[in-house]
Structure 1
């Protein structure tokens, strides 16, 4: 879980509607989503000559949080730092709000050449076979169900992804792993991994394993990261290799073997894009998405 999400989750302010407006609201939402997506796609190809297909930006789908929900519906959002990181790295970011229809979900995966799976609240413990923890803060059911449906299809298609904080934990559970439900109460660490602050406020060192994809991307074996989580990977899922640990042994990164590009990090690189090693993660995602599209 992203500890920062406990305090500052909502970036969209809902507007209450009258009963007779609800049907029109849903219709308008679909129209505006279509306009935004089409406009982004058109902008990405403007002024590009026919002999420069590699210059077209790869489409990167970014998962979203349910920030508000009542009888009138839900509001979805993501932090702009995720969007900015993808765009600055050369990708075309689009947001992926939770949907229930299988055909639309599969269309998401077909449309995007790469994905960023964002932070958020906790995965329900029963999903990985543990009783609820007193400090567990479950994410909205709608998001959890959608995220795992999306992830199963991303993995099946072997599409490039960068999974961040909760996203890394979701990949772990999707592949049969497990989580430490609360680092502070279930381990003896002296490192503070999560605070109710901006994700860049709390820092600690991470030691990168030799010969890993992560080492290849950042070019170093030691990295200073931010930290904003109260849970962590306990047992990696099937096909996951540990890429980095904190000094207390907490797993901070994993990567998928025999996959292509599948990288999971427990910190928030999108909040540190002014630092070369962290921005390099997004640059590599875009490069891998472009290569996937060229297959």
Structure 2
């Protein structure tokens, strides 16, 4: 039986209250089940930036997840912007994810960024962000869809010739949409691989890397039949 590659999944974090009287980590089960279905062996990564290199030494791939967080604009803006009132900062999470993502890219380890994880991957590769779509890129499309995440919110157009196009074999995909931020501009070495009908960037990739792919939607829900192909391609790349 072929050995499953070990995939590290980043966690969301919450302060004390709600589920626990102490600070706690959280991640939906379908992140793990989707990686398992794709042939990977998922493990959760606590937020310890000083251990990022130790984690990566044991891993075959890194999946940066979404969640209730935003990347501090001070990290990606020049001159530094103040956070928008709608921005949710979680410095402990971002510090760890940036350290792990940058280290993974430096060693050309496969990286998949999902939703907020796509934005963080983009920032690690020099991109800038829209802090709050309704203010900076108003649209008739509900990028925070009102219907359940198990259903599509809108479609995206997949750019021909990109890694995403080769993986999915699609020119268009139906996607779920749960974000108030988005990639605004990409720097040298980054390619936009998907856009919403309003032109908003929905996916990025870095062709110079073995596998560095980000999607703004949540393929772990398998809203589109091509979604599992994204996880499958990522896990296959992690077999290295």
Q: Same fold (TM over 0.5)?
A: yes
Secondary structure at the aligned position of 2:23 is classed as: strand
Q: Which SS does the other structure have where 1:276 is aligned?
A: coil
Gaps of 5+ in 2: none
CA distance in 1, matches of 2:83, 2:66: 20
Shift of the alpha carbon at 1:205?
A: 1.0
Shift of 1:74: 3.1
Instruction: Give the aligned partner of residue 116 of structure 1.
Output: 63
Q: Does structure 2 retain, via aligned residues, the 8 Å contact 1:215–1:221?
A: yes
Instruction: Report the 3-state secondary structure (helix = DSSP H, G, I; strand = E; otherwise coil) of the residue aligned with 1:270.
Output: helix
Q: TM-score, normalised by structure 2?
A: 0.91
Instruction: Look up the match of 1:188.
Output: 138
Q: Which residue of 2 aligns with 1:59?
A: 6
5+ residue gaps, structure 1 = 1-47, 49-54
Render the CA deviation track for 1:243-283: whole Å, top value 9, x for unaligned: 0101100001111121111110000111126x430000011
Q: RMSD of the alignment, in Å?
A: 1.8
Task: Give the 5 Å matches for 1:1-295.
Answer: 48=1, 55-69=2-16, 74-101=23-50, 104-120=51-67, 121-129=69-77, 130-138=81-89, 140-195=90-145, 198-201=148-151, 203-272=153-222, 275-290=224-239, 292=240
Structure with higher Rg: it is: 1
The ranges of structure 1 where at least 4 consecutive aligned residues each deviate by more than 2 angstroms after the TM superposition are 67-70, 195-202
1:193–1:202 Cα contact (<8 Å) kept: no
What TM-score do the two structures reach when normalised by structure 1? Answer: 0.75
C-alpha contact 1:174 1:237 (8 A) present in aligned 2: no
Question: Does structure 2 retain, via aligned residues, the 8 Å contact 1:172–1:237?
Answer: no
**Cα deviations across residues 114-160 of structure 1 (Å, max 9, x unaligned)?**
1211002111122222222122122x221111111111111111111
Q: Distance in 2 between matches of 1:73 and 1:141?
A: 18
SS, match of residue 199 in structure 1 = coil
Q: Distance in 1 between matches of 2:188 and 2:115?
A: 19
**Going by fraction, where is helix more abundant, 1 or 2?**
1
Alpha-carbon distance between aligned partners in 2 of 1:267 and 1:289, rounded to the nearest angstrom:
21
